Amino acid sequence: MFHGKQVLITGGLGFIGSNLAHRLVRSGAIVTLIDSLIPEYGGNLFNIAEIAGQVHVNISDVRDEHSLRYLVCGKDFLFNLAGQTSHLDSMQDPYADLDINCRAQLSILEACRKYNAGIKVVFASTRQLYGKPDYLPVDERHILRPVDVNGINKMAGEWYHILYNNVHGIRACALRLTNTIGPRMRIKDARQTFLGIWIKLLLEGKPFEVWDGAQLRDFTYVDDAVDAFLLAAESQDANGKIFNVGGDSVISLHDLANLLVDVNGGGEFLTRTFPPNRKRIDIGDYYADFEYIRTMLGWRPAITLADALRRTLDFYRKHLDQYI
Ligand SMILES: NC(=O)c1ccc[n+]([C@@H]2O[C@H](COP(=O)([O-])OP(=O)(O)OC[C@H]3O[C@@H](n4cnc5c(N)ncnc54)[C@H](O)[C@@H]3O)[C@@H](O)[C@H]2O)c1
Report pLDDT digits (tens) over 152-200.
999 999 999 999 999 999 999 999 999 999 999 999 987 778 999 999 9
- Give the pocket of ligand 1 (CB within 6 Å): 11, 13-17, 34-38, 41-43, 61-63, 81-85, 100, 124, 126, 177, 179-180, 186, 193
Query: Cβ neighbours of residue 10 under 8 Å, at least 6 residues apart?
Result: 17, 34, 35, 62, 78, 79, 80, 81, 82, 108
Could you identify the atom of ligand 1 that is nearest to the CA of residue 127?
6
Model confidence pLDDT, tens digit, residues 54-92 = 999 999 999 999 999 999 999 999 999 999 999 889 999
Question: Do the beta carbons of residue 18 and residue 184 sit within 8 Å?
Answer: yes
- Taking the CA atoms of residue 209, residue 312, residue 147 and residue 12 in that order, the dihedral angle to the nearest 10 degrees is 140
Query: Cβ neighbours of residue 133 under 8 Å, at least 6 residues apart?
Result: 142, 283, 284, 285, 286
Model confidence pLDDT, tens digit, residues 269-321 = 999 998 888 788 788 999 999 999 999 999 999 999 999 999 999 999 999 99
Per-residue confidence (pLDDT) for residue 191, from 0 to 100: 76
Could you identify the atom of ligand 1 that is nearest to the CA of residue 16?
16
At 172, which amino acid appears? A
pTM of the model: 0.97
Could you identify the atom of ligand 1 that is nearest to the CA of residue 82?
24
For a mutational test of ligand 1's pocket, the pick from 34, 55, 67, 85, i.e. the residue with the most ligand atoms closer than 8 A to its C-beta, is 85
Going by CA atoms, what residue is nearest to atom 21 of ligand 1? 14
